[in-house]
Amino acid sequence: MPPLSAVANLLRLPKYARNVQRMRFVIRVLFTHGFGHVLDRAGVGRLVQLGRQRLMGPDESIARRAWEVRVRLALESLGPTFVKLGQMLATRPDLVPMSLIHELRKLQDDVPAIPFPAVRNVVQQELGAPLSSIYQSFDETPIAAASIGQVHAATLKDGTFVVVKVQRPGLDETIRTDLDLLAFLAQQIEDQLPDARQFRPVAAVEQFARGLRLETDFTNELRNIERFRKQFAANPTVHLPITYPTFSGRRVLTMEFIDGAKVTDTETLAQWGLSGPDVARNGTSLVIASIFEHGFFHADPHPGNFFVLRDGRIALIDFGMMGSLDRERIDDLLAFLASLLLNDPEMLVTQLMDLGLLDDRVDVRALRGEIHELMARYYGVDLANIDIGMFVMEVFEAIVRFDVQMPADLLLIGKAISTMEGIARQIHPDFNPLEEIRPYLVRLYVRRALDPMVYSRRLVRLMHDYWGLMTTAPGEVRGLLRRVKRGELEIQLRDAGEGARAIRTERRINRGIVAACTLTFWAGFTLTLPQVAAAGWMSLTGLWTVLLALNGTWTGALLAFSMLRSREL
């Protein structure tokens, strides 16, 4: 196909004609990082040629690195949408191998700062007023810059010290274009690579797109902070930043300045006289309580999002990525983790069945054996030497190998627990998160298992379902009967053995016909035989008699052979 045809194909792609240059840039980056063969297999080889116009081949310094490293570097080069995609994939061992997940957790989205005039324009457009009329002071140098936006220190008119999170200009258009490209590539992969269909790339991109749109809407983040604050209002070890809705919008978020140290800044914590084990314990309790008591948790708990105040309270920032669980899912998750912590593979497999994750295609016995073997490696090991995050992720990986589609929320929680443990061990290397988690989870599991309110809710739900069935069933039955009466609906009853019986019946009828023919032929032979003596064998009667004998012999032999072969009449 000539280059003009390749360009024409590109222009025919829905929504992409407006930004062919972005498509070419994505292709060039992927090709530079050694993934041209993947694009060829996905059916976009001609588009790869567009990128090759300026490239003689992959970058040799990059090509020598492991493929997992090249994936991370490519995502970082492609910008905010792809960085966020990598962060999402780092929580999905059901989609990508663990070796890639470990590498994607290193993703960095530090980017050059936005020029201050552009920052001022975004704030003024979003809040509808000049910057000087909103803030008493606004630091032009950002505190931090990332792919989604950057943070500036500012002071309100009443002297309150705040931080202002400002979204990057043009981010909406970039994300919209990148999501279109990702949707196209996912569809190509699903169409052209049959082996990849089990990972449902189109559905994964759609889920990612929904999450990214929420994360880039700062009004959603403001609501998340307020909800989290209500959850921990009575907890003296937690502090959530105060938000200012009047000075916030979809692209601007104004909130309290957190005057604290990063949770991993052990030197500063020691200078403040704070105990490492206490800080690790408070952070662990915060994460566990948010998941298992409230069902609303921070889904991106990396060290940069945890701060410690001078009085020892834990303060969280960046509430763009949050996870949410209903009560039923919390109960399922408690049973799931309790089976891990109690070293009970039977209970774990039973829980997977209750969750509806195992179907007829799964070899349950083999899965149970593999989980038992995995748990046996940890059984009897000192709790302090167990990496619970790695343990949970290894169990997830073993389950996924049996083509079990793990729910995204379970995988997200696995990542949160794993990250929490890593942070706790950074703060205090001798801290044992498992000693904190196991008794808490077991107590909570027993309490929930014995809680009459849990069973009452289930009973109410069951009664509601039955009541709905009782109220709707009569009308539905009447409707079906009316359709049957009008001849619009035909009811057929089929016996599982009906086909075999029909074949046997048909075979017996055929044999009856052959037997009747045989008897007819021999009866005719017998009746015409006396006439042959007078007319002779060479007469017409003689020839007819011989023909009857031959036919009788043939059909008789055929009948006998059929009966001997089937061993039945």
Q: How far apart are CA 396 and CA 404, in angstroms?
A: 10
Bridge partner residues of 166 (DSSP):
150, 252
**Residue 228: what are its φ and ψ, rounded to 5°?**
-65, -35
Q: How far apart are CA 240 and CA 234, in angstroms?
A: 12
Residue pair 124/89 in contact by the 8 Å Cβ criterion: no
C-alpha to C-alpha distances, 275 to 143, 289, 415, nearest whole angstrom: 28, 21, 26
| Strand bridging mode 322-324 / 306-308 | unpaired
Q: How far apart are CA 61 and CA 63, in angstroms?
A: 6
Q: How far apart are CA 135 and CA 158, in angstroms?
A: 9
Residue pair 258/165 in contact by the 8 Å Cβ criterion: no
Token representation of residue 85: 């995609």
Contacts of 528 (CB under 8 A, 6+ apart): 541, 544, 545, 548
Q: H or E stretch including 256?
A: strand 252-256
Q: How far apart are CA 287 and CA 292, in angstroms?
A: 9
Residue pair 26/181 in contact by the 8 Å Cβ criterion: yes
Spell out where 317-409 has E strands: 322-324
| Side chain identity at residue 136, one-letter code | Q
300 is catalytic: yes
Token representation of residue 533: 């003596």
Contacts of 124 (CB under 8 A, 6+ apart): 130, 131
Q: How far apart are CA 218 and CA 222, in angstroms?
A: 6
Which of 94, 178, 180, 300 is labelled catalytic? 300
Active site residues: 300
